[in-house]
Amino acid sequence: MCGPETPSSTPRIGARVDFFSSSPSSRDRHLLGNLLFLNPSNHNSQQATHFSFISPSTTTTTPVLSKRGPLREGDASDSSYFSDSSYSELDDRVIVSIHQTGDMTKSVHECGLLKQFTLDEKSCRMCALKENLSISVGQDGIIGRRVSMMRGGVVLGDGIVGYNC
């Protein structure tokens, strides 16, 4: 989040959570991507109106987003990738949960639920939120809260929301 400048194409606005794979061993966890919460029409806004999931690099696969195997750049534009009748649309849904606490020592199921939305593999790169999220600390703000990604009740990855400055 905040820190020294590093080469990145990720915008430095709004809030950000880096998702790491869910693994019992911390050394086996790897970066799955990050989720940005922002207001594209007003970069200084403390209200996020949109979100965007960004994979670690355009040349690296993002296995979290596809039940059929790694989702590679270009797959999302290939409608046949998602039309296989052996996979229901529910299988492709990734549920993003913003929890009430930022406690990473507990199970995500013990952290309460503040907000939840679906990250659709077929969706655009920048998606509108159904309701604005407060980019602040405390009360209903999302900063410091744990965020998890789940499919079919299985935690794919999680992380903590911070300012993306």
CA distance 94 to 38: 20
Strand 154-163 versus strand 15-21 pairing type: antiparallel
How do residues 73-128 score in pLDDT, each as one tens digit?
A: 333 333 333 333 334 455 568 899 999 999 999 999 999 999 999 887 565 578 89
In 42-159, alpha helices (H): 89-92
The pTM of the full predicted model, rounded to 2 decimals, is 0.73
CA 100 to chain CA mean position, Å? 16
Instruction: Output b/e per residue, 61-80; b: 16+ Cβ within 10 A.
Output: bbebbbbeeebbeebbeeee
pLDDT in tens, 5-42: 554 555 668 999 998 887 666 666 788 888 999 999 98
